Amino acid sequence: MSRFVVSHFLRGVDLDEWDVGSMTKEVNAESTINSSVWRTNQEVIPLSDSEFVERSLEENQFWLRIMMEHAMFLRNGFPPDAQELISQALHFEEAFEKQLERSFETPSNPREVQKLNEDSLDLTRKIIMYKQKVLDDALVGIVRGFNFPLLLDHVRREAMYFLKTLERINSRNERPVDDDIVKENIFFLEIMSDHARFMAHLLDPTEKELIRQAAAFGQEFDVLLSQAKSIHFEPRSDKILRTHLTVFKGSTLHLRSFKEQATKLVQMSQIKSIINPQLASHVTREAGKFLSIIDRLEDRLESDKQNKHSKEGLHH
């Protein structure tokens, strides 16, 4: 008999038949990422139809691929006797691939895009449940294999992020820019720190210099994460926010460059490691995503500044 135990609610159940209503409350409660760190700000900024369509398609086309790859990485990390989890991971991989293809075929009109979002949200809630169960079982030794518990938690957090981001876009609301800066950077700086630590532990022990560099990046992003959390206690002037974004962007550019070089070396078999080339590409793209978000936040700060100046001019 296999030592592998699978939760009863996953055993033999088709993903399309899952009842996600019972877990929505739990997911929504857990997915407010570090919410105690931030100020409560009830102001929301409505999205126009064009902004709604553009942001929806952008997030779907990026994160659906990430979710598909998560399922593949998890599947590859399970032991051979974990056939049920392997089968479920493959099912998720195929489901996200189909949804990704659909995201590129969806017409750019709000009604069709909203339907796409709703189906992506439903699928993402399901994989969150799956990832959470695998993580819980790994922590008590039920699940073995080669998926680090930190990796399991990492991919779960990314799915939660995608869920909350798409829920917010689907409600046609944008956060105030200062809140957006704090929340986006706290999330992504921790993701970048995790990436560096994964790379350090997947390199062959003889690759001492690369391990040192990867570990140093992990420590650097831990410091940056603490700085991002401290923004809560600072006056949120445009100057302070811009300074933080400049620092975060500079460090992320360096990390992305390191990831790009490592990806090439892995693909060419010029370093010793057990890093999957697709994983190397995956984490590099996520660094690029973070940089694109920083660019968007800088643009929002500049737009807000110009709007304030325009209003001041009208008063004079």
C-beta of residue 147 within 8 angstroms of C-beta of residue 138: yes
User: Which of 291, 280, 77, 287 lies closest to 198, judged by CA?
Assistant: 280
Q: What is the pTM of this model?
A: 0.85
Q: Is the pLDDT of residue 44 over 80?
A: no
CATH tag, 175-316 = 1.20.1260.120
* Residue 297 main-chain phi, psi, to 5 deg: -65, -40
Nearest by Cα to 259 from 212, 199, 201: 199
- Measured CA to CA, the distance from residue 173 to residue 186 in angstroms comes to 20
Is 2.130.10.10 the CATH classification of the domain at 48-172? no
- The answer to whether the beta carbons of residues 159 and 70 sit under 8 Å apart is yes
188-229 pLDDT, tens per residue? Answer: 999 999 999 999 999 999 999 999 999 999 999 999 999 999
User: Using CA atoms, how far apart are residues 47 and 64, in angstroms rounded to an integer?
Assistant: 22
**pLDDT over threshold 90, residue 180:** yes
pLDDT at 232: 75
**In the prediction, which pLDDT does 6 show?**
36
**Average pLDDT of the residues in 2-30:** 39
Nearest residue to 255 (alpha-carbon basis) of 229, 299, 294, 226? 294
Model confidence pLDDT, tens digit, residues 53-83: 999 999 999 999 999 999 999 999 999 999 9
**Within 13 A of 137's CA, how many CA atoms are on the CB side?**
20
Domain segments of the chain: what residues? 48-172, 175-316
Question: What's the pLDDT band for 85 if we cut at 50, 70, 90?
Answer: very high
Q: What's the confidence (pLDDT) of residue 222?
A: 98
* pLDDT value of position 305: 72
Instruction: Tell me, yes or no, if the two domains 48-172 and 175-316 fold the same way.
Output: yes
Which candidate, 154, 153, 182, places its Cα nearest to that of 34?
182
The mean of the pLDDT values for the chain is: 87
Q: Label residue 312 by pLDDT band (50, 70, 90).
A: low
pLDDT of residue 43: 64
Indicate the residue type of 123. Answer: L
Q: What is the pLDDT of residue 237?
A: 82
DSSP H helical ranges for 78-109: 83-105
> Under the phi-then-psi rule, with left for phi > 0, alpha for psi from -120 to 50, and beta for the rest, what region is 269?
left
